Structures are given as C-alpha cells and as structure tokens.
Amino acid sequence: MQHPEENPWQINAEKVIYDNPWINLTEYQVTNPSGNPGIYGKVHFKNIAIGVFPLDAELNTYLVGQYRFALNQYSWEMPEGGGALGVDPVDSAKRELLEETGLKAQSWTELLRMHLSNSVSDELSIIYLARDMQQFEAEPEDTEQLIVNKVPFETVYKMVCKGEITDSMTVAAVLKVKLLLLENKLG
C-alpha cells in the first residue's frame, strides 16, 4: 500500500518533562497537519518490550501472574520484560523466559512485532515463540512477585476470548498461535 513518506507534523519546540532509566516524556509545541498550533506528548521507551510465548509438545503454555502497579490490578500474561537496545532481542527473550519461569528453550521463532500504544509512545514489542523446553530454576527480579502456571493452550485461548487476559502482547501472541494452529503452520 502506498502512503505519504513526509511527516505532516511540524515541531516548533520541545521540552523534556520527565526522564528515568526506562522512559522519558517530551512535550512538543507543534503545528498539526491542518496547520493549527498545538501540543503533543510522546513517551519514549529506552528498551524493547520483549514477550515469550512458551509452548510445549502437549500444547501447554506458561502464564505468569503478577500485580501490575500501573493498572492497579492483577494480570495473567506470558513471560515479558525489557530488552536493552543494542542487545539481540532473542537473547533478552531467553533471559526473560529463564528469569520468570525457569525454562530454557531450544527453538526460537519470532511471532510478531507490534507498536503498543502508537498514539502516545514509540514502544516496540517483539514476541517470540519458544519450543523444546527444559525446566530449570526461575530467577525472578526482586521487583517481581510472580505466580507461574502451566496451562493448556486452549484454556488460555478461551481466557483471551472472554477478556480474562487483557495484556496486549499476550492477546496478540495467543491469537497468532491460534491462527498458526488452525492453518497447520506451527511447525
């Protein structure tokens, strides 16, 4: 599909509002595409959002449960975390899988890439399918209080369909895996 390559937004000024080791927030004074002045805020992420969808030979997966501070609620999701820029994302995925579940996988396939909230942030997500796994000891970070459950894939798919899993990366991974299963392309 063809689309314009030129940015219709003009940046007139910018000011960093907030900065920490993970994100920064910049406020821009802009001229919008219709020629009117305005402001735009952008959250810049300093890491890549990494997701790992582990799937064993019996089509079980591993959900990680934790209380999410930003949501102020409990969330069930696949193993996820940040991957440093400049580091091979699959290496970050291997680290996250081991940290959160104690699993090591022999087979890694990139499932998809997504921008998680492209109206206000530049956060990129890369999600991997992990197969052929062996169990080791989990190594969670001190900020994580995790519960890990081995769950049949079809149960997780139903949880997504019922809205019981709302994490966007997990929802996308589950739907992609379901599509691959239906098309007999999982491998």
Domain limits, the chain: 10-45, 47-182
For position 79, what pLDDT does the model report?
A: 97
**Domain 47-182: top CATH class:** alpha beta
Q: What integer pLDDT is reported at residue 3 of this predicted model?
A: 87
What single string gives the DSSP state of each residue in 41-87?
EEEEESEEEEEEEEB-TTSEEEEEEEEETTTTEEEEESSEEEEETTS
Question: How confident is the model over 113-171, as pLDDT tens digits?
Answer: 999 999 999 999 999 999 999 999 887 777 667 899 999 999 999 999 999 999 999 99
Higher pLDDT, 186 or 60: 60
Distance, in Å, from the CA atom of 129 to the CA atom of 121, rounded to the nearest integer, reads 25
Q: What is the pLDDT of residue 144?
A: 67
Residue 107 is predicted with a pLDDT of 97
Q: Which pLDDT belongs to residue 142?
A: 72
Read off the pLDDT of residues 52-97 as tens digits, 9 standing for 90 and up.
Answer: 999 999 999 999 999 999 999 999 999 999 999 999 999 999 999 9
Distances (CA, A) of 43 to 52, 125, 159, 186: 24, 15, 30, 35
